[in-house]
Structure 1
Amino acid sequence: MHGLPAAEIVSRLEAVLPASNVTQRYQGLVAGSGAATIRGILVANIPNVAALRRAAATNCNFIISRQHPYFYQGGITDRGNQQTLRGDPVVEAKRKLIESGLAVYRIEAAWDAAKPRSVAAAFAAAMGWQPVASGGSGRTVYCDVAKTTLGELARRIVTRSGARGLRITAEANTAVSRIAITPGMEFGSEIMAAALRDKAVDAVLTDVVLDVDGGCPYIQDAIAAGRRIGLIQTGCERFEFPVAQEVARFVRGVFPEMKMDVAPESEPYWMAS
């Protein structure tokens, strides 16, 4: 196959995605040229240097990601960092890699608009859990599990996901039988409050909540007020890897003629002893 222009890949992809979300700031084709000749597609949640090098080496030079290669996130985490990072050596090194023939398409907003629970549901499936119907925010799923403890739940997550850097709030012997699984990050206190409206929930499982935004302190205050509840944070890479595999399956359906690859999951954390 001789390849397709990046602009054609974008056009076909956006024909099956919610268009209004593709046009949000820092979404869609965020790096590289629409004229680049694309010979394959790499799905990589985080388009870091390792992923960019993999894309170049495997000829999967159209990268579909959840994050921005130059760290321009948008939303409440955007505080003018595009200007701040102008000329930054790390950003410029990545820019040079991308300009060698890569293109990066950020799918996050459009994907989450179409499938708001998919990040949480994909992680639940990877853990072997089946979501049950319950209330809560649009990105949260709830799973009933055989009665266990927060400590045992954490060990299961380590075994099944490979995550080494779990952050756990509450005592290890806290009883758990219903888990709220939800992406964290922005507005952590609101996300935690929504998850806890289900009175049967006794553990919240997320990627990351910002301490300064109240996610972890909210759980601490709930415990102090008498709620038997625990919080486990896995980190973004392990939490979001299952949805990368789901995105890859979706993209294969749109581009059956293209070579496809998924960047392998990684664990950037180690624990001090």
Structure 2
Amino acid sequence: QCRFRRVQFTPDLLPADLVGTRIFNQKTGEFTTWLGPVFTNLLLADEINRSPAKVQSALLEVMQERQVSIGGETFKVEEPFLVMATQNPIETEGTYPLPEAQVDRFMMKVVIDYPNEMEEFVIVERMTGKLEQVRPVLTVPELLDLRKEAEQVFTDPALMEYAVKLTVATRDPGKFGLEDLKPYITYGASPRSSINLVLAARALAYLRGRSWVIPQDMTDVALDVMRHRLVLSYEALAEGVTSDTILKRILETVPPPREVLKSHAEAAYKS
């Protein structure tokens, strides 16, 4: 029952087309505020890299602050609010690089490759078969309640420290015996990497039916959470070294906590 909007990003798209603007009404002689498509629950920014930086940057405020400033007024977006964006990694002609500040605000970057045979069969079956009626399974209040429950999933301080170590390893790989990675990294991950590692691990633990996070939850989401936060050097690009290559080395080298964390979680809930 959430609202959904899709915006096709094009070179002629303006920031006002995205967030809204003030419109002068000639009949009344007054300005009225038109709220753009960002005022929704789920926003799909399709082919986001086909618009210039000023349009991409229009998403910065709403993604971080959950609000938009128009004509000196501030307008809050409704909860839940989620921005999803796509970009085509093959057809790059006529595209613009995404600003690092905006990329960092995305919680995850999920790389979608070709589907396997079974996945493609399901796609073909759904697209060529009879479309079943889609029924809502959750109300907005129910979804917000589930999100609150996921936020309460216990995370041991040792796991938070592990998230910080993974992030620090991207900035100073030599500290963890990975000196050979240093020439490939221009800028490491920001503190948002550590924050989102913990948040994503909590959500995954909740989906797996647990009220506490284990190291595997964090390692399972690490690539998706961190890959877009690394700025690679020209040397890495020339040698074909990717963010995933670097992160896999870090995950293999930086050990996760070994303690059993379930007892810690039970003790925390009892207290």
TM range (shorter): under 0.3
TM normalised by structure 1 equals 0.21
Question: Quick check: which has more Rg, 1 or 2?
Answer: 2
Structure number having the greater strand percentage: 1
TM-score, structure 2 as length reference: 0.21
Compare the two structures and name the one with the higher helix fraction: 2
